[in-house]
């Protein structure tokens, strides 16, 4: 069961979406990563999202990563504990950079939420 607040996940989704529209698909390399972080060098949205992610607890980062994996189809919602178990030390493993460099992060998180019966539609993003 998710313990991170859906509001926090939806905030990450909203900010990741803002970033995703700034990088054209042709700027991505074969593995889909390419110049994503490079393209945002001094981007205030990236700085805001990165700061937000860095301020989260290890447990919250662990859940964000596991939720993205559920949304990507690597795990099912009923395999939640297995997904969490695959996330190792989030600070040593550079989880923030990994999340920021994940193409379609917003889609994966949104799908992950939906696997748990949650949606950002019920959350007022304007206040975030």
pLDDT digits (tens, 9 = 90+) for 44-101: 889 999 999 999 999 999 999 999 999 999 999 999 999 999 998 788 889 999 999 9
79, part of any domain: yes
11, part of any domain: yes
Number of domains in the chain: 1
pTM: 0.81
Query: Cα separation of 3 and 93, whole Å?
Result: 21
pLDDT digits (tens, 9 = 90+) for 93-114: 899 999 999 999 999 999 999 9
Give yes or no for a contact between 84 and 66, defined as CB atoms under 8 angstroms apart.
yes
46, part of any domain: yes
| Residues in the chain, total | 128
Domain encompassing residue 39? 6-116
Give yes or no for a contact between 12 and 107, defined as CB atoms under 8 angstroms apart.
no
Chain centre to alpha carbon of residue 32: 16
121, part of any domain: no
128, part of any domain: no
Chain centre to alpha carbon of residue 1: 17
């Amino acid at each position: 069961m998710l313990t991170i607040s859906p509001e926090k996940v939806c905030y990450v989704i909203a900010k990741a979406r803002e970033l995703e529209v700034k990088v054209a698909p042709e700027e991505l390399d074969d593995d889909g990563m390419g110049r994503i972080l490079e393209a945002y060098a001094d981007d205030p949205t990236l700085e805001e999202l990165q700061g937000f992610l860095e301020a989260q607890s290890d447990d919250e980062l662990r859940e964000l990563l596991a939720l993205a994996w559920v949304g990507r189809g690597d795990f099912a919602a009923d395999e939640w504990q297995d997904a969490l178990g695959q996330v190792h030390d989030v600070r040593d493993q550079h989880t923030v950079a990994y999340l920021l460099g994940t193409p379609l992060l917003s889609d994966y998180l949104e799908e992950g939420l939906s696997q748990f019966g949650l949606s950002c539609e019920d959350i007022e993003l304007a206040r975030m």
